[in-house]
C-alpha cells in the first residue's frame, strides 16, 4: 500500500479516559504505480518521468534528479508508458515489456504489440499480449507483451555497431495502431558490437555481454540458447603455443599434429600449418592441447609456421617453431627377390622415414609387407604370402605415410617359386643315434633366395624308454615355406674299451663295437683321435673299426693351445656324431726303429 491512515489518540491509563485523537495519513511514495495516483498527493510525492517511478519531495533534492523530467500536476501525466524507463533488448533472446495504461477502459481490445526500427527494415510481433487490470490502483491497467527476438528477416544486413532505437506500438483488433511516445527501447547484438575480447568486456555492464567461445555474446544466450559453458572470470587471456609435434609432415596430409600451450578456445578455431588447413579433432583437444589432422600440401615441399585463428574476431597467433611438408627419400631396397610363401626380410634405406606419426604401410604389388622395425634411415618388413598369379613378375614396391602420402620405389620386387625339396616328406625318414649330432643332408632346388633356414623337432610318440628307437617329426622352415618329414632316433652304438686299455703302438689299431654303422655312417662320418692327432680309418664295418695310429707320439697341446690329454700316454677317443668314447691309451716307445730292405 502507498497510503496508510493512522489515528493518533491521547489516553490516560488510570482513568481509562481518552482526552482526544487526530487522524494522520502516512504516504509511501515509492509504492504508487501510476503517475496520476502519485500526483494525487502532490504535497508529498512527485512523478519522475525519467525513471518511471514516484519519489518524495525530499528525494528530489538529490543532485542525480533531472528536474525537467518531474511531473508536478496530474494533468501532465502520460496516459500510456513503459514500466521501465530504459529497455535494452538483446538479439537472440526473449523479452517481456510491461506497458502502463492510466485511466484505462476494460473494454480495450488489443491484437498484439510490435517493435520495429524507424526505417521499417525489420519487425518483431509479440508472441503473447496479456491485458490485466491492476489490483492495487483502480484506474491502472497493465499490458504484458512477450517478444522472441530471433531470426528477423534482413537482420543480417544491419551493421549493429551500436544499439538501434525501436518504436513500440500497440495494434488493436479494429486494425488501428498506437505508437507509445517517449519510449527508450533499443535492440543490440553483442557479437556485432564488439569484435574482440577487450572491446566486449569494455561495453556497458547493462548490456550483459560476455566473451565466450571466441565471440561476444549475451550472457543468458550461453545457457538458454546454445547450452554453452563459459568461464566465470571474464578476462582476456592471450593463447600461447608452447610445443608442436611432429614438425616434419608427409606431403599429402593425414598426420595428427599435437599443439600444446594455454588458453585455447576451440570454438570457431581455424588452424593452418605452413598455410595448409589442419582439421580440428575436437574430442582429443582441450584448452591446453589442440589435435588436428594435416591437410594435403600438393606436390611442392613447403616450410612455415603454425597459425591459430580464434574465431572471426578473436586473436591470431603464430608459432615460433617451423613446420615442414617434405617427401621421404628411398635410397636402396634389398633384396629384390623372394619366394611365393613370403617371409623375406625386406630392408629399405633412405632419409626422413619417420616423418609424421611414423604410421607406415608397405606393399609389394597388392600384398602387404609386415613392418618389423623403423628408424629415420631404415625400415624393415617381412613379406607375406603371394598369389600364384604374381610369380616371376616384377611387382611395384609402395610405401604409404600416415595413410595418405604414397611413395613408389624405382625398383621392383620379383616373386619366385618356393624351394623344391627332394626326399623330404612324410614318406621319408631320417635316422640318428639318441645322442644326436648326426648330420642331416637335405637336397633340393631354389635355395639361393632363402634368408632364414630353421629346423623344428616335435616328438610324435612317447615310446617306452626301453624301446630301441623313437620317432620325431621334423619341420623345415625356409622363410615362410615349410615341409614335414620324420626322424627315427635309434639307441646309441656300443663302443668297447680296448683290452688291455694301454695299447702298445702298432700300425693298425682295432676297436670293436655293436651297430657302429646302424644309421649308415661311413669312414668319413667317424673320427678317432690319439691325443691331438687323427687315427685315419682304413676299414669300417658294423662291429669294428680299424685305423692307423700316427708314427710319432702326439703332443699334449694342439696348435691352438688346446689340451688334448693330461696323462702320461695319449688318450684314444672315438667320436660318432655326439658320442665321444674314451676307449684306452696308446703307449709309444721312446724310440721307434723302422726296418726296411737294403
What per-residue confidence (pLDDT) applies to 1? 78
Other C-beta atoms lying within 10 Å of the C-beta of residue 104: 20
Query: Where do the DSSP E strands lie in 451-595?
Result: 453-459, 469-478, 481-490, 494-495, 502-504, 509-514, 526-530, 533-534, 537-541, 544-547, 571-576, 579-587
pLDDT of residue 184: 81
The pLDDT value given to residue 66: 81
**Hey, where are the domains in the chain?**
3-76, 80-188, 240-326, 329-416, 420-490, 494-587
Count of C-beta atoms within a 10 Å radius of residue 17: 9
pLDDT at 205: 85
Closest of 378, 351, 379, 383 to residue 367, by C-alpha: 383
Q: What's the pLDDT at 202?
A: 78
Equal fold, 329-416 vs 494-587: yes
Where does 80-188 sit in CATH, by number? Answer: 2.60.40
CATH class belonging to 329-416: mainly beta
- Please state which architecture CATH assigns to domain 494-587: Sandwich (2.60)
CA distance 522 to 537: 10
Q: With beta carbons less than 8 A apart as the criterion, state whether 494 and 485 touch.
A: no
**Cell numbers linked to 589:** 716307445
C-alpha count within 13 angstroms, C-beta hemisphere, residue 577: 22
Cell 604414397 -> residue: 406
Per-residue pLDDT, 312: 76
Parallel, antiparallel or unpaired: strands 45-48 and 53-56 = antiparallel
- Determine if the pTM surpasses 0.85: no
Beta strands in 181-339 (DSSP E): 185-188, 209-212, 215-218, 240-245, 248-250, 256-262, 269-273, 276-280, 289-294, 302-310, 316-326, 329-334, 337-339
496 secondary structure, DSSP code: P
Strands (E), 126-255: 128-133, 140-149, 164-172, 177-179, 185-188, 209-212, 215-218, 240-245, 248-250
- pLDDT tens for the chain, 598 residues: list them: 788 888 888 887 877 787 788 888 889 999 999 999 998 888 889 999 888 899 998 887 776 788 888 988 888 899 899 988 778 888 888 889 999 998 887 778 889 999 988 877 788 899 999 988 888 888 889 999 999 887 666 666 666 778 888 999 999 998 899 998 878 888 898 888 887 787 788 788 888 888 887 788 888 775 554 566 676 667 788 899 999 999 999 999 999 999 999 888 887 899 999 999 999 999 999 889 999 999 999 999 999 999 999 877 778 899 999 999 999 999 999 999 999 999 999 999 999 999 999 999 999 999 999 999 999 999 999 999 999 999 999 999 999 999 999 999 999 999 999 999 988 887 888 999 999 999 888 999 989 999 999 999 887 655 565 566 788 889 999 999 999 998 998 999 999 999 999 999 999 999 999 999 999 999 999 999 999 999 999 999 999 999 999 999 998 998 889 999 999 899 999 999 999 999 999 999 876 555 555 4
CATH class entry, domain 240-326: mainly beta
In the block, residue with C-alpha cell 566473451: 211
Q: Classify 523 as helix, strand or coil.
A: helix
Amino acid at each position: 500500500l502507498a497510503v496508510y491512515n493512522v489515528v493518533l489518540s491521547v489516553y490516560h491509563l488510570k482513568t481509562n479516559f481518552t482526552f482526544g485523537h487526530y487522524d494522520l495519513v502516512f504516504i509511501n511514495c515509492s509504492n504508487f504505480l501510476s503517475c496520476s495516483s502519485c500526483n494525487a498527493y502532490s504535497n508529498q510525492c512527485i512523478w519522475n518521468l525519467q525513471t518511471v517511478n514516484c519519489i518524495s519531495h525530499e528525494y528530489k533534492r538529490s543532485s542525480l534528479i533531472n528536474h525537467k523530467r518531474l511531473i508536478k500536476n496530474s494533468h501532465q501525466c502520460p496516459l500510456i508508458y513503459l514500466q521501465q524507463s530504459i529497455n535494452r533488448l538483446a538479439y537472440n533472446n526473449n523479452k517481456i515489456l510491461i506497458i502502463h495504461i492510466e485511466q484505462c477502459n476494460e473494454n480495450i481490445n488489443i491484437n498484439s504489440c510490435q517493435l520495429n526500427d524507424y526505417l521499417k527494415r525489420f519487425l518483431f510481433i509479440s508472441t503473447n499480449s496479456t491485458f490485466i487490470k491492476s489490483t492495487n490502483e483502480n484506474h491502472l491497467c497493465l499490458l504484458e507483451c512477450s517478444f522472441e527476438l530471433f531470426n528477423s528477416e534482413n537482420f543480417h544486413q544491419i551493421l549493429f555497431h551500436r544499439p538501434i532505437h525501436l518504436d513500440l506500438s500497440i495494434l488493436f483488433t479494429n486494425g488501428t495502431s498506437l505508437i507509445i511516445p517517449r519510449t527508450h527501447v533499443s535492440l543490440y547484438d553483442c557479437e556485432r558490437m564488439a569484435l574482440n575480447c577487450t572491446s566486449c568486456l569494455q561495453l556497458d555492464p547493462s548490456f550483459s555481454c560476455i566473451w565466450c567461445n571466441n565471440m561476444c555474446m549475451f550472457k543468458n544466450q550461453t545457457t538458454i540458447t546454445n547450452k554453452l559453458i563459459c568461464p566465470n572470470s571474464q578476462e582476456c587471456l592471450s593463447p600461447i603455443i608452447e610445443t608442436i609435434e611432429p614438425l616434419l609432415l608427409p606431403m599429402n596430409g593425414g598426420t595428427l599434429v599435437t599443439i600444446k600451450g594455454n588458453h585455447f578456445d576451440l570454438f570457431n578455431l581455424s588452424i593452418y600449418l605452413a598455410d595448409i588447413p589442419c582439421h580440428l579433432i575436437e574430442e582429443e583437444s582441450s584448452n591446453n592441447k589442440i589435435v588436428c589432422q594435416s591437410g594435403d600440401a600438393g606436390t611442392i615441399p613447403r616450410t612455415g609456421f603454425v597459425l591459430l585463428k580464434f574465431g572471426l574476431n578473436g586473436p591470431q597467433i603464430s608459432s615460433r617453431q617451423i613446420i615442414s611438408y617434405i617427401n621421404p627419400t628411398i635410397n636402396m631396397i634389398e633384396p629384390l627377390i623372394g619366394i611365393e610363401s613370403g617371409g623375406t626380410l625386406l630392408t629399405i634405406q633412405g632419409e626422413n622415414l619417420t616423418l609424421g606419426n611414423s604410421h607406415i604401410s608397405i606393399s609389394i604389388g597388392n600384398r602387404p609387407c609386415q613392418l618389423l622395425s623403423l628408424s629415420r634411415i631404415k625400415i624393415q618388413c617381412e613379406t607375406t604370402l603371394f598369389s600364384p598369379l604374381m610369380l616371376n613378375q616384377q611387382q611395384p614396391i609402395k610405401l604409404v605415410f600416415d595413410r595418405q602420402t604414397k611413395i613408389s620405389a624405382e625398383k621392383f620386387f620379383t616373386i619366385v617359386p618356393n624351394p623344391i625339396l627332394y626326399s623330404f616328406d612324410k614318406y621319408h625318414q631320417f635316422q640318428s643315434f639318441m645322442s644326436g649330432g648326426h648330420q642331416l643332408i637335405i637336397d633340393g632346388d631354389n635355395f639361393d633366395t632363402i634368408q632364414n633356414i630353421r629346423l623344428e623337432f616335435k616328438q610324435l610318440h612317447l615310446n617306452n624308454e626301453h624301446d630301441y628307437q623313437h620317432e620325431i617329426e621334423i619341420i623345415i622352415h625356409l622363410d615362410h615355406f615349410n615341409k614335414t618329414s620324420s626322424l627315427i632316433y635309434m639307441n646309441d652304438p656300443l663302443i668297447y674299451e680296448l683290452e688291455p686299455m694301454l695299447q702298445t703302438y702298432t700300425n693298425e689299431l682295432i676297436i670293436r663295437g655293436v651297430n657302429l654303422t646302424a644309421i649308415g655312417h661311413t669312414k668319413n662320418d667317424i673320427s678317432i683321435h690319439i691325443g691331438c692327432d687323427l687315427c685315419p680309418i682304413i676299414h669300417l664295418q658294423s662291429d669294428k673299426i680299424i685305423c692307423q695310429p700316427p708314427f710319432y707320439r702326439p703332443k699334449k697341446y694342439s696348435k691352438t693351445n688346446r689340451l688334448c690329454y693330461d696323462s702320461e700316454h695319449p688318450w684314444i677317443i672315438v667320436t660318432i656324431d655326439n658320442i665321444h668314447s674314451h676307449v684306452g691309451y696308446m703307449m709309444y716307445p721312446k724310440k721307434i726303429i723302422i726296418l726296411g730292405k737294403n
